[in-house]
Structure formats: C-alpha cells, structure tokens
C-alpha cells in the first residue's frame, strides 16, 4: 500500500481568510442604512441588502435574487436611469448621479461601480435634502418676485463696503442709472455713502436693505 500526504495548511488558511472577509463584508452591508445591491453579468440580482429590500425595491431579497432586474422592475427600462446602468457596464465607467426613483418616487444619490462579473450599486436617500432645496428655490423665487415687482425703490448692498448686489426696476427709474452701472459697483464710487458709516441712520438708506 502506498500513501501520499500533501500539506494544505496554506490553502485552508486562505479559505478561512476568504470566509472571514466575506462574512465581514456581509455584516457591513446588512448593517448600513443605505441601499446596496449587486448584479451579475446577466443583470441578475446576486446581493440585496436589507436597506435595499425596504427601499427602493419594497420587497424581500428572496423575490429578487437570481432574477433579472428588468424583469422584476419593468418600470426602469427606457428611463435615463436605465442608461446609467448600460453606460456603467458597456463603458466600464463609474456612474454617479441623482434621480427620482420610478419605483417609489423618492430621490437618491446613486453610485455604480462596474466589475468583471457585473455591477455594484450603492444608493443614498436624499429626499429630505431635495425637499429642502426645492423649498429654498421657491422662497428665493417669491423673494425675487416681491423685490423686483415692488413699487418702492429697493437695493441690496453689502454693509461693510456698499457693494451693490441687486436693485429693482423702480430704483433704476428713480436714479436714472442702468443696472450694469450699479450692480457690482460700490456706493463710494457712485457718490452714495462715501463712508459706509454714513449709512447708519441716513435718510438715503431708508429705501435700501443690507
């Protein structure tokens, strides 16, 4: 009888290290609050973390794993988001964009990372930030309408040096200046408040805001 003994210690150590790395990665993906999922080179789900199950997908990973994303979510093909998927894989490019999901209507900041056997996608919900940006835009729009449509002469200037930031149409009508002559210039050059300290309590300042 003959026997052969082969030392496989290094192989076992490598396998243990690989399992440990996989377990650590899985634990991280399951614990993060942002959505993460992976697709293989046939567009099939291979990884879906709990956050992605909740949103934007709204269904358990068991219903998605092994299935093609376009078949599970037919609302994606034909959208600009769909093109990002294609660009990431075909051009091997890292895609970074913000978009409103056709699946749940929420806004996401999306990072796509192509790999040899597919695509990794990381999504951060930015709906609150988008809401705040829209509220600020509407507020600025309302202010602009009130400012430029006001029948009183109004100017927005910097307090420390009298730089004109903006003036309304009534201000130009009263002074006879063109907008280009005023906006971006300073009050001393225009012979208004030659010393910024003169602005305090000045009757000339009664129609201006800082």
> What is this structure's pTM?
0.67
Lowest mean pLDDT among 34-38, 42-46, 52-56, 158-162: 158-162
Average pLDDT over residues 152-181: 90
Tell me what the pLDDT averaged over the chain comes to.
Answer: 85
Report CA torsion sign: 20, 26, 27, 28.
Answer: positive
- At 91 the pLDDT is 96
| Cα-Cα-Cα-Cα dihedral sign, residues 25, 28, 30, 33 | negative
Higher pLDDT, 182 or 208: 182
Q: What is the pLDDT of residue 210?
A: 40
Distance CA 204, CA 208 (A): 8
Q: How far apart are CA 87 and CA 98, in angstroms?
A: 15
Domain with CATH 3.30.450.20 in the chain: 12-129
pLDDT digits (tens, 9 = 90+) for 95-147: 999 999 999 999 999 999 999 999 999 999 999 999 999 999 999 999 999 99
Residue 193 has pLDDT above 80, yes or no: no
Residue among 78, 71, 110 nearest 94 (CA): 110
Q: How many CB atoms lie within 10 A of CB 21?
A: 10
Residues 22-32 have pLDDT tens digits of: 555 555 556 57
Whether residue 195 is predicted with pLDDT greater than 70 in this model: the reply is: no
Q: Are the beta carbons of 159 and 208 closer than 8 angstroms? A: no
- Report angle CA 58, 62, 68 to the nearest 5 degrees: 80
pLDDT tops 50 at residue 46: yes
pLDDT in tens, 63-97: 999 999 999 999 999 999 999 999 999 999 999 99
Residues in the chain, overall count:
210
Q: What is the pLDDT of residue 72?
A: 97
Residue 57: how many other CB atoms lie within 10 Å: 22
> Could you say which of 3.40.1380.20, 3.90.1580.10, 3.30.450.20, 3.30.300.180 is the CATH number of the domain covering 12-129?
3.30.450.20
């Amino acid at each position: 009888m003959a026997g052969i003994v082969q030392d496989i210690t290094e192989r076992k150590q490598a396998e243990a290290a690989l399992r440990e790395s996989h377990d650590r990665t899985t634990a991280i993906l399951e614990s993060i609050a942002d959505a993460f999922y992976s697709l293989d080179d046939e567009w099939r789900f291979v990884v879906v973390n709990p956050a992605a199950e909740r949103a934007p997908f709204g269904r358990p990973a068991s219903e998605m794993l092994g299935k093609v994303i376009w078949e599970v979510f037919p609302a994606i093909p034909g959208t600009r988001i769909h093109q990002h998927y294609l660009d990431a894989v075909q051009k091997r490019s890292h895609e970074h964009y913000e978009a409103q999901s056709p699946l749940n209507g929420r806004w996401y900041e999306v990072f796509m990372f192509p790999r040899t056997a597919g695509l990794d996608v990381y999504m951060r919900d930015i709906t609150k930030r988008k809401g705040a940006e829209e509220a600020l835009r509407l507020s600025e729009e309302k202010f602009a309408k009130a400012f430029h449509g006001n029948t009183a002469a109004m100017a927005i200037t910097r307090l420390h040096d009298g730089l004109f930031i903006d003036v309304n149409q009534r201000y130009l009508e009263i002074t006879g200046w063109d907008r280009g002559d005023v906006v971006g210039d300073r009050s001393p050059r225009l012979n208004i408040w030659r010393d910024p300290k003169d602005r305090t309590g000045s009757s000339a300042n009664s129609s201006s805001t800082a």
